[in-house]
Amino acid sequence: MMKFARVTIVMGSQSDWETMKAATKPLEELGIEFEAGIVSAHRTPQRLVEFASNAHKNGTKVIIAGAGGAAHLPGMIASETLVPVIGVPVASRHLKGMDSLLSIVQMPRGIPVATMAIGEAGAMNAGLMAAQMLAIEDEALRQRLQEYRQKQTDNVPFEIVK
């Protein structure tokens, strides 16, 4: 059964986890509870409707949805809820994720999906974006995000390793 948390991460298939687990890293580091599970517009359409239409009521503030290929999952979830959806295009074998990217980003007007980059960087940024959204109304989290940024800055050396 699908569980809900402040941030709920869903993906089209178990095979997306390798990429999507990158979204959990910043959430863990920033102390944000999350749940992750498999929901597919194509393979589990009823689960999708049940998940998306109950997300707000169940306390989810941000949904991260990753899918590859004909990636209808983020857009279909967005059409069933007002909870903001961050879409992550998962790289596909034949088209390297260009198919996923275009299916997620090219939403018709009226139903937005906040689309990240293809692959792991996009998944990680989805976690960070979710944190920043929650930080709008959470000063303590904002502080932790500031420290996270500072640490990232401090970890970029000037010297080139030759």
Ligand X SMILES: Nc1c(C(=O)O)ncn1[C@@H]1O[C@H](COP(=O)(O)O)[C@@H](O)[C@H]1O
**Closer residue to ligand X, CB minimum distance, 83 or 134:** 83
Residues 6 or more apart whose CB falls under 8 angstroms from that of 152 comprise none
CB of 123 to ligand X, least distance (A): 12
**Closer residue to ligand X, CB minimum distance, 15 or 143:** 15
Measured CA distances, 54 to 3, 67, 102, 136 (Å): 11, 21, 27, 23
Interface residues with ligand X (CB under 6 A) are 11-13, 15-16, 40-43, 67-73, 90
CB of 49 to ligand X, least distance (A): 12
CB of 80 to ligand X, least distance (A): 13
Tell me the angle at which helices 73-80 and 98-105 cross, rounded to the nearest 10 degrees: 20
**Closer residue to ligand X, CB minimum distance, 32 or 87:** 87
CB of 77 to ligand X, least distance (A): 9
**Closer residue to ligand X, CB minimum distance, 7 or 77:** 77
> Helix/strand/coil (H, E, C) string of 45-104?
HHHHHHHHHHCCCCCCCEEEEEEECCCCHHHHHHHHCCCCEEEEEECCCCCCCHHHHHHH
Whether the CB-CB separation of 61 and 134 falls below 8 Å is answered with yes
